[in-house]
Structure 1
Amino acid sequence: MMHPLINPSDTPEVSRDKLVTIAEALMRRVEEASDDQGAAYAQFQRAVLLEDQVRARTADLERALDMLNRSNARLGEAMAEAEAARGNLASAIETVEDGFALFDGADRLVLANARFGRPLRNVHGQLKPGMAFADYVRAVSLSEDLLRQAGEAPEDWARRRMERHADRAVTFIVALTGDRWLQVSEHRTGEGGTVILHTDLTQVIRTERLERGKLLDDQAIRVKATLDHLTQGVGVFDAGERLVGFNRRLAEVLSLPLARLPVGLEFAALLAQVAGMEVRGATLSQVAAWAALREPRPALAFELMRANGHVVSVQGQDMPDRGFVVSFSDITAERVAQRALAEANETLERRVAARTEELAEALARAEQANAARARFVAAASHDLLQPLSAAKLFLASLADEALPWRAGETVIKARNALSSVEEILAALLDISKLESGRAALDVGAVALGPLLARLRDEFGPMAARKGLDFKVLASGAVVDSDATYLRRILQNLIGNAIRYTASGRVLVGVRHLSGAVRVEVIDTGPGIPQAERQAIFREFHRLGARASASEGMGLGLAIVERACALLGHPLALDTELGRGSRFAVTLPLAEGELRAVAVPEGAPQGLGDLIVLLVENDAELRRALALLLEGWGVQVIEAASGEEALALLDEIGILPDRGLIDYRLGAGMDGLAVAERLRAAGMAVRLITADRSEALRGGRVGVLPKPIAPGALAAFLRDG
C-alpha cells in the first residue's frame, strides 16, 4: 500500500522533495535515538532502500507522462485533420449548384448545403444536423411554397413521400407556388445513409413550355393557311363540341357572316343556323346525337339543300382527342352534271362502250407491238436460212470441182462465213422465242450423264485444237428441266469458256446440293472485269475488242440468261481477273420418270423450214398444238382470234407456209372467213373443228377434225 505522504498526482519534483524530507527526518531520528547502533543502522538501510524505490517509481511516472503527452498530441492532430476535412467537405458541398443533404443510416441529418431547402422558405430555417428525415418531410408537407394536388392534405403528401423514401433510388418533380418546379433525386449510400439532391427545373420547364407554345403557334398558322386554301368549308370542334377553328370558305358555303361563326360556338348553335335548309341522308337531331357520342364516332355524311338550289355535302370525322372535324363542300356543279349525265345516259353508255373497245384494241395492239419485233426476227431469220442453205449447197458443189488453189480457198472461206451467219440466225431465233415468252417448254426428267457425254464429244476437238485440258466429269443425276434448252444453255457456257481461254483448262462438273445439283463450267481464262459482269448478258455484247464475227455475235450468254430465267434455273457467276471464271446453273432434282432427250419416235422429218400460223381461241389447246409443232422443229405464230391473226400478219409482212384455223373462234370473225382470206392470199390452210357437218366438209377449205390425228397433221404440213 502506498504511503499516504506520496500522492500520485504530485509532480516528480514534489514527490522528490517529499522523499528528501522524509529521508532527512529519518536520519535525524536515527542519530537522536538512544537504542544501540544495530537498530539505527537497520533503519538507515531501510531508508536507502525506500529512496531507490521512490526513484524507480518516479522514472516510471515520467515515462508514462511522456507517452500520455505524445498521445494527446496525436489526438489533437487527428481532430484538426478531421475538422479540416469536414470543413473542406462543407465547402465542396456549398459549391454544388443543386441543393444537397446527407442523412445517416438512422435517417438523421448529417449536413446540408445552403441551397438545400431554400425554395421552401419555412423549411430552410429548420434544417439542423440531427434532424429526423420524417420531421424534414413533415415540414415540407406543411410548407406554403409546396403546391399539392387539389384536395390533398399535408399528411397525405407526407405519407406518399415516405413511401418513395423506402425505394433505394427515386427521382420525381415537385410543383411549387409561383410557377416553380423542383426535381428531387434520392439515392442510398453504401453505409445505408441517404443523399438528396434538389435541382431547380423552373427555367427548363418555362423554356420548354415557351418552345412548345411557339411550335403550336407555328402549327396553328400552317393549319390555318392549309384550311384557307381548301375548296371545302371546314370546322374543327373540340371534345366539348365547341368551334376551335374554321376557314373562310365555311362561311361562304353556308352563306353566313363571319360574325356568326365565333370561336367557341357550340355545334348545336351551328346546326340551328342551318335548320332552315333541307337535309338529306340524316336529320339534324341525328347529327346532334352523333356529335354527342362519347365512344368513337363513325363517319358522318349527309347533304343540305339551300334555298337557291345549291347542294352542300357535309362530311364528319372523329378525331383522336375526342373532338371532330366537319367539312362542307358545295357540290351543286356535280349534281347538275349528274342530272345532265342521267339525261344523256344512253348516249354516254354507247360512248363508254366504244371507248372501252378502243382501249381494248389499243392494248391489244400494244401487246402485239411488244412481241412483233421478236416474231419478225423469227420469221425473217427463217426466210434467210433457206437461201443460206441453198448457197451452202452451191458452194459444196463447187468444192467437188477442180478449182485453182486461190478459188478453192475462197470457197472454203465463203462456206465458213455462211456457217457463221447460219449460227447467228439460229441464235436470233432462240432470242426471239425467249423474248416473246412463247418458247415451247417440255419440262421433265432429264439425265445429265448422256447430255454431258454428248457435249464432251462435241467440244472435245475444238478444245484440242487450242491445246486446252478439257474435262467433263460424269454424273448420274436426273434433273427437272427442258432437255432442248438445257442443252443449249450448257452448249453456250462451254463454247464461251473454250473460246475465251487461251491456255490452261476447261472443267465441267456437277456439284450435289440439297434437293438440287449445280452444273459448273470452270475455265482458266482472263476473267471478267467488274464493270462487264452485267453487260456480258446483253445481246451482241462481246468481251474483248478483238473478238471477230466468226467467234460469235455475243448472243450466247444472252440466250443462257433468258433460258435460265424461263426455266427457273438460278444462274451464278464467280470470276477473278487473270484467274478465270466459273459459271454455275442450279437444277432441281427430278421426281418423275426419266424424260428422253431425243426427238420422239415417229416425229415427221423435214419440217424444220416451215412457218405455221395457228389461230385457236382455246388457250390450252393452242398451247398443246404449239408444243407439238415446235417439237417437230416448226416455227409457230400463235393468235387467239381471226382479227389478231390478220393484224399480226399485216404487221410482220410475212406470209406463213401453213395455216391451222379453229372453226369456232367465238366473237368476231369465224374460222371459215379467216381461212378463206388466207387461202386467197396463197397460204395452204386447214380448218380444225369437231363439227362433222357435210356442208363444212364439202367447202373449199380442207378440214382436220378434232381430235387431231398427228399423222394427218404431219401429212398436211409436209404436203400442203
Structure 2
Amino acid sequence: MRFFRHRLLWTVLVILLGTVASMLVASQIALRTSLLEENRSVQRQLSLYAQALVQRIDRYRTLPEVLALDDRLKAALSHPLSRAEVDQLNRKLEQANGASEASTLTLINLQGKAIAASNWRDAHSNVGEDYSFRPYVQQALAMGSGRFYGIGMTTGVAGYFLSRAIFADDGSAIGLIAIKIALHELESEWQLSPDIVLASDSRGVVFLASSDDWRYRLLTPLSEDDRLELEATRQYANQHLRPLNYRVDKHTGAGGLLASFSEPRLGKPVLWQSLQLPELQWQLHLLHNTENSLAASRWAALASAGLWLALSLLVLFVRQRQRMAALRQRSRQELETVLHQHAQELRTAQDGIVQAAKRADTGLSRSLQHLPQGVVVIDEQLRLVAWNSRYVELFRYPAELMRVGQPIESLLRHNARRGLLGKADVEEAIARRLQHLRSGTPHLHESAKGDGTVLEIRGNPLPDGGFVTSYADITSYKNAARELRSLADALEQRIAERTRDLDAARREAERANRYKTRFVAAAVHDLLQPLNAARMYSSLLPAHLHDAAGRQVAHSIDQALASQDAILTSLLDIARMESGQLETHVRDFPLNALLEVVQNNFGMQAESEGLKLRCLPTRAVVRSDEALLRRILQNFVSNAIRYTRKGRIVVGCRRMGGQLRIEVHDQGPGIPESLQKEIFEEFRRLDEGHADDRGTGLGLAIVERLGKLLGHEIGLRSQLGRGSVFWVSVPLGDAQAIAPPPQAADAVTADAGPLQGGSVWYVEDDPPTRAATCTLLQRWGCRVPFAGGAPEALALAAPGNAPQLVLLDVHLGQLYGPDIYAVLCERWGQTPPVILLTAEGDSTLRRQAAERGWGFLAKPVRPPALRALMSQILLRQPRSEPH
C-alpha cells in the first residue's frame, strides 16, 4: 500500500514540474516570437510616420528659396522703408503664405529685426520684433540657410523654422526670409493611432507627441552646456522640461526595447522603437502596446500546459490500458448482456408480467422474483395484489405497509411524505395518479429520485381488471449519456478554439497582403516614370522615317512600350483594387453605345489578324460603372483576338430574368477544363496566342477583380477545338432614369482647332521628356515660348508674358510644382490654366487638382490624352492673341 502511495506522489510531482517547465518555455518562446513580429510591424509604421513628417516639411522647403530671389524683397532690405512700403510687403507675404498654407512668413533684416510678416494683422504680429538671438537667423546670415524648431516668442506657438539668406548683387547677405511650419496637424493625425508617437531633438528633448503628457520631456539628462544654450536661444520658452522616467526591461532585437514607464505612467510594458532622421537631426519614437504579445505568451503557456497534461494523461492511460482491458471487456459484456436483456424484457415484459400476475401468489410473489424490474400488481379496486422484492428495494417501503389488500393510495401518500411526488400540490398529484390507474391507460415515462437513481416506469392494464406496473433502474444508461454529452461539449470547445486560431491567422494574412499591395503600388509608380519620355519619342518616330523597314521597327518599339505600359498599369490597377482605392460610379446607361465603342476600337485590329468582329446591337439599359464594364468587355475581346487564328468573334446579349448576360464568342482553340479556373489568376496565360502577342497574363485577373468590385458574375464555358464564351452578368437598368443627352455645341472646324497657335509654357526638369513633348506640341500647332526647369521659369516670368496654358511637372527636383505655379501667377499678374503631370498616383493630389479646376494626367502621358485635355481646357478659355 505504501509503495502505491509513493508511486502516486512521484507521478503527480513529475506532472506538476513538467507542466510548470513547459509553461515557462512556451511562454518565453511565444513572447519572443510575437515581439519580433510586432517589432517589424512597428518599424514599418514608424517609417510611414517619418515619411509623412519629412514630406510635410519638404512641401514648404522651396518657398523661402523662391522668395529669396524676389527683387522686391531684395530692394526692401537695401533702404529704410516707409509705412506704405511695409504695408505692401506685409500684403505680399500674406498672399504668398496663403498660397502655401504655411504658418508664418517673416522678412528679417541684417540686424535680426522683422520688417514685414504675413501675420501683420494679428495681435501678436512678428513685425518689429528682434530675432537676432534665434539660431535660424544666425545660420542663414552665416551659411546662407538655417533651420530650427522652437516655441515662437511672439505668438507662443511652436513650429519648425526654415530660413534663407537674401544676397545683394555683390554676393553679401543683406537679410533673410524665414517660414515657420506649424506641425500641430501632424500631432492631431498621430492621436488617431492607439500607440504613442514622439519626436525628440538632438538633446533628447521630446517636442512633438501624440499626447500632451509626453511633450517637453527629457529622454536623457541635459548637460550644463545644453541648458545654457537652451536658455540663450529660448527654444522652448518657459516650458519646464521634466524627465521621462522609464526602465528598459529587455532588448527585443532590431533596435527594439521592452520598457516600463512610471512617469508618465503606463500600466504595462511597451515596445519602444526609434528611427533616426539624420537630415533633421531628430529622432522619431513609437511606443507600442504589447498586450497582444503578452496575451499570446499567456495563451502559449496555457496551451503548453494543456499539451503536457494531455501527454501525461495519455501515458498514464496507456500504462493503465492493459490492466483495465479485462475489466472493461467484462463490463462491456455485462452491459451488452443487460442491454440485451433489457431490450428483450421491454418487448415481452408486459406479457410476462401479466402472465406472472395471473399465476402470482398473493403478497410477495415467488413467480415475480426472477424479474430484474420492480413489479407491483393491483386489482380493479386499486388494492395491492402482488409484488416482488425489487419493488420494495427501489422505494424502501416498510414491511408493515406491504400487505395484500393495502390500497395503493397509502403507498402514494407514503411516497409524497418523502418528497417523491415532486413539489406540486400533494392531493392533486395523488388524485391524478389514481385517476390514471382507474382509466387503465398504458404509459411509459422516466422519473428521477432524490439519490440520483433514474427509473423507467411502464404500466399496462390487466385483461380482467387491475393494473401492473414495472420499474427498471436505467441510471447507468443515463450516466453514459451524460458522459457522451460532456465529450461532445469538450470537442465543440476545441473546435471553437481552433476556429479562433484560424481567424487570427487569416487576419495576419490580410495584413501581409495589405503591405504587399502598398509595395506593388510604389514599385509600379517608380517604373512608370521613365516610360513617359519613351512613349513620347516613339510617337514621333513614324514622322521621321520614310522606309517601310524603319516604320516597322518604330511600330515594334511602340508595341513593346505599350505592352510594358499595359503590364505596369494592370499591376497598379490590381493594387488599387486590393487596397480599396478604386472608386466606382454606378448608374443606368444604354448598353449599345458601349458596344459601338468596342466595335470601333477593335474592329480594325481584328481585320488585321484576318478575323471578323461583330457586336450585335441592343436596346437594353444596364446598371453598372460604364468605364469599368467597358474594360471588362475590352479584355474579353482582346483575348478573343489574341487566341483566335481564323473565323469570327461575336459580342451579344442574353436576358436572364432581371440580369443581362453579355457574351463574347470566339472560334479559338478552346480552354481545357483543368485550366478554366487558373486563367483568372495573375500571370496565367495560354501558349496558343499569336507569336508576337501572347498577353501579360493580367487581363482576366483584372476582369475577375472588377466583377467582384461591381458585384457582377463572371463566367466561362469552353470546349477544346470549338472555341470559348466569356460572359459577364449585369443588372438591367431603368430606361426612364437616363437623362436626355445635352444638345451638341457648335463644332469647331479642323482649320480653327483649339491648339492651333496656342501659347504653352512647359515646366519640366527632365530633358528627354521635355524635348519629346515640345516636339509634339509644335506638331499640333502650339507655340512654346518657354520649356525648361523651375528656376529658368521664375527668372523669365514677368507681367504681360503669361501663356494661355501651363504644363507643369509636380516634382521638380527639390521644388514642388504647385508652389512654383503660385509664384509664377503672382509675377504674371494672371492665373492661366494649368495641367499637372506626375508619375505619382496620389489620389489626394488628384482631388485637390479637381477642386481647383486644374488638369491632371498621370505619367507616362499618352499623346492622345494630352491633346484631348489641352483642347478641352483651351476651348473653355476666351480666345485672345498670344503673348
TM-score (norm 1): 0.43
If you compute each CA radius of gyration, which structure gives the higher value, 1 or 2?
A: 1
- Higher relative contact order (Cα pairs below 8 Å, separated by 6+ residues): 2
